[in-house]
Amino acid sequence: MERDMTKGSPMRLILGFAVPLLLGLLFQQFYSMVDTIIVGHYLGVEALAAVGATGSVNFMILGFCIGVCNGFAIPIAQEFGAGHEENMRGFVGNCVRLSVIFSVVITTVVVVFCRPILQVMRTPDNIIDGAYIYIVVIFAGIPVTFLYNMTASILRSLGDSKTPVIFLIMAAVLNIFLDLLCILGLHMGISGAAVATVVSQAVAGLCCLIYMKKKFTILELSREEWRWNRNYVWKLCNMGIPMGLQYSITAIGSVILQSAVNGIGSNAVAAVTAGSKLSMLMVCPFEALGSTMATYGGQNMGAGHLDRIDKGLKSCTILGLVYSVVAAGIAYGAGQSLLLLFLDAGETEILSNSFYYISWNIWFYFPLALVNIVRFLIQGMGYSRLAVFAGAFEMLARGLAGFILVPVFGFPAVCFANPLAWIFADLFLIPAFFYVRQRTRKIMGNT
């Protein structure tokens, strides 16, 4: 049920909230990895590269959708923390309406322009058809992406980080079954992996919706609370759109970088795909800590507990530092073995390049931890527009790598692009947090 994060030990609250989130993220990565493993082993390296070639544009579009949903949940968390239940339900009602509109418009636009985007990205001719088939199915499923992330974000804003995880685990198991059925049983090829992902997420979203309606009496909306409210819509968009843009602007840099990788060849694409999948699994705790700080910051901001925000940041940073060291050791020690999940042992050049990619990333995990922790905390405090600038710094770094460094230095520059982006983002975010804290204290001191 609901969890009030405005009282009690910040470290204990953050851990208690983040661990279920982490499990959810791990299972989300797990069923994404299952797609990659099955595609790589049963459909071949070209199919693996085709899926990998869609990664950045996938993140650009779906990241916007997820960011919007996360942003919509911030006013809900703030009103819940302040104890204003009627206002909170009004935000929920308008959040649902906006999510429907956003999902329909985005789906229509991106499905139409899907192939031209892949062509602009210089996707190699031998994989572009497979890449198109995969990504167009994923994009057609954007409404279910909104459904799951909207309902999960609302639940988390009320302090329930466990329930979305349970349904995500169910979806992961279903995804494995559907992958095997669609790819090996029905011989649907690369499209089967995309269909399995969309159907699994639809099931998770429906389960969250049903649970929310049955168990959260605090969310029983009256007819008045369902109506459009300009103030609510403005605040939801003011939080959601910048948060979505932050993901998309960050992803634009990834698209530029992906285009540079595509220019090197399909083997390089496959190496980055395998390395990225393993890296995404390793960095899940940072995402969990970040999402936790969004809810923690939102509730405590609503309650006016600025001292708890400082304590929460300190606790979360310690957790991020400890995990950074542990994760680097695991990835460096077992990285080559773990990469065999995605690639055959005979693909020695691709395996070597994938591990080289991982090796560069792991030593910069703590800057990545700060990116997630500080960015989401600032967003939870209500300054989501600043996240757009953080995304712009990441885009600048990856754009620099894609346009200048990769053509000169080749694959090694690809490996350093993410660390460079994390450092650039921190150079903006850390001063931004101190600005937000000082501004917030001044505003609250005058009220």
Q: Are 415 and 361 in contact (CB under 8 A)?
A: yes
pLDDT tens for each residue of the chain, 447 residues long: 556 667 788 888 888 878 877 877 777 676 666 666 777 767 777 777 777 777 777 777 888 888 888 888 888 887 887 778 788 888 888 988 999 999 999 999 988 888 888 887 777 778 788 888 888 898 999 999 999 988 988 888 887 778 888 888 888 888 888 888 888 878 887 888 889 889 988 998 999 888 888 887 777 777 777 888 888 889 888 888 887 877 777 777 777 777 788 777 777 877 887 788 788 888 888 988 988 888 788 778 877 788 888 898 999 999 999 999 998 888 888 877 878 776 667 777 888 888 888 888 888 999 999 999 999 898 888 787 777 788 888 888 888 888 888 888 888 888 888 899 999 999 999 999 999 888 888 876 654
Q: What is the dihedral of CA 307, 311, 316, 317, to 10 degrees?
A: 110
- The confidence score (pLDDT) of residue 32 equals 67
**Number of other residues whose CB lies within 10 A of the CB of residue 126:** 12
The amino acid occupying position 377 is L
Hey, where are the domains in the chain?
15-442
Q: Give every CB contact of residue 267 below 8 A, 6+ residues apart in sequence.
A: 45, 49, 349, 350, 353
Q: CA-CA distance, 76 to 87, in Å (whole number)?
A: 8
- The confidence score (pLDDT) of residue 31 equals 63
**Number of other residues whose CB lies within 10 A of the CB of residue 103:** 21
Cα distance between the two ends of the chain = 33
Tokens found for residue 206: 């429906």
Strands (DSSP E) contained in 51-152 are none
Q: CA-CA distance, 194 to 47, in Å (whole number)?
A: 12
- The confidence score (pLDDT) of residue 353 equals 82
Q: Give every CB contact of residue 65 below 8 A, 6+ residues apart in sequence.
A: 102, 103, 106, 142, 145, 146, 149, 244
Assign 44 to helix, strand or coil: coil
Q: Are 175 and 34 in contact (CB under 8 A)?
A: yes
Question: Residue 39 gets which letter from DSSP?
Answer: I
**Nearest Cα residue to 250 out of 49, 51, 28, 67:** 67
- The confidence score (pLDDT) of residue 316 equals 92
- The confidence score (pLDDT) of residue 371 equals 92
- The confidence score (pLDDT) of residue 102 equals 92
Burial bucket for residue 44 (CB in 10 Å: 0-12, 13-18, 19+): middle
Q: CA-CA distance, 347 to 344, in Å (whole number)?
A: 6
Assign 392 to helix, strand or coil: helix
For the stretch 370-409, what's the b/e string if a residue is b when 16 or more beta carbons lie within 10 angstroms of its beta carbon? Answer: bbbbbbbbbbbbbbbbbbbebbbbbbbbbbbbbeebbeee
**Nearest Cα residue to 159 out of 242, 105, 219, 226:** 219
For the stretch 414-427, what's the b/e string if a residue is b when 16 or more beta carbons lie within 10 angstroms of its beta carbon? Answer: bbbbbbbbbbbbbe
- The confidence score (pLDDT) of residue 420 equals 92
Percent composition of the chain: helix, strand, coil (DSSP 3-state, to 5): 85, 0, 15
Burial bucket for residue 221 (CB in 10 Å: 0-12, 13-18, 19+): middle
Cα 375–chain centre separation: 13
Question: Residue 7 gets which letter from DSSP?
Answer: S
How many CA atoms within 13 Å lie on the side-chain side of 71? 32
CA angle 258, 175, 338 (to 5 degrees): 55
Q: Are 355 and 341 in contact (CB under 8 A)?
A: no
